[in-house]
Amino acid sequence: MKFLYSSNSHFNLANLITFSNIAAGLIATFLISQNIFLWAAVFAWIGGVFDIMDGKVARKYNLSSEFGIQLDSFADFLSFVLVPVFFIFQAIYLTNLSGFWLFIAGVVSICYVISGLRRLIEFNINADAGEVEKFFVGVPTPLGAILLWIFYLLNLAGLFSTISIIILMIITAWSLNSKIKIPHP
């Protein structure tokens, strides 16, 4: 069981937690495709818990590695970019839009995904294993996902229109690669 505490192991404890985040994201994706939105949201948030845990475990047991950085970004892309965008597209856009506006919602969703992917690639290029900066430059993808979940809930409560969600998704996509400084927790 030494491999669990070796930074050279692709299956160390931190990476296993990251794999659990990926599994939760995949389950959420399947549930979204079946229009089982409550459970999809539950699994998306479970993925978020795993994301918090993997970094803490990696730092506590000195398990950070280049492989772990890449794996974590892949998990972030799935859980914090693809899942919330797919969720909003299925739960809001497909339900409330058609024709031109559905096309626009699709373009905005694709732009959000590209923006999130660009942010994660840029982060990986500049990341050093084991180091944590004081500030994020641009909104981190987990915070972007939280904003999308909040927009969904506000839409569900009737407080935001579907067109408002499209506009807020554009603003959030922009903020992922902005120069906004967010303190690292």
Mean pLDDT, residues 59-82: 93
Q: Quick one: pLDDT at residue 131?
A: 62
- Give the C-alpha separation, 2 to 24, whole Å: 26
- Give the C-alpha separation, 7 to 61, whole Å: 9
Q: Per the structure, how many domains does the chain have?
A: 1
| CA angle in degrees (0–180, nearest 5) for 48-171-108 | 85
Q: Give the model confidence (pLDDT) of 2-55 as tens digits.
A: 877 777 788 899 999 999 999 999 999 999 999 999 999 999 999 999 999 998
- Give the C-alpha separation, 45 to 130, whole Å: 25
* Domain that includes residue 144, residue range: 2-183
Q: Quick one: pLDDT at residue 20?
A: 97
Q: Give the model confidence (pLDDT) of 94-131 as tens digits.
A: 999 999 999 999 999 999 999 999 999 998 888 765 56
Give the DSSP per-residue string, the chain.
-GGGG-TT-TTSHHHHHHHHHHHHHHHHHHHHHTT-HHHHHHHHHHHHHHHHHHHHHHHHTT---HHHHHHHHHHHHIIIIIHHHHHHIIIIIHHH--HHHHHHHHHHHHHHHHHHHHHHHHHHHH--TT---SEEES--HHHHHHHHHHHHHHHHTTSS-HHHHHHHHHHHHHHHTSS-EEE--
Q: Quick one: pLDDT at residue 11?
A: 86
CATH number at residue 45: 1.20.120.1760
Torsion of CA 41, 170, 122, 87, to 10 degrees: 20
* Closest alpha carbon to 80 in 126, 53, 132, 115: 115
Amino acid letter, 5: Y
Encoded tokens for 160: 């935001």
Name residue, tokens 């404890």: 13
Side-chain half-sphere CA neighbours of 4 within 13 A: 4
Query: Which pTM value belongs to this model?
Result: 0.91
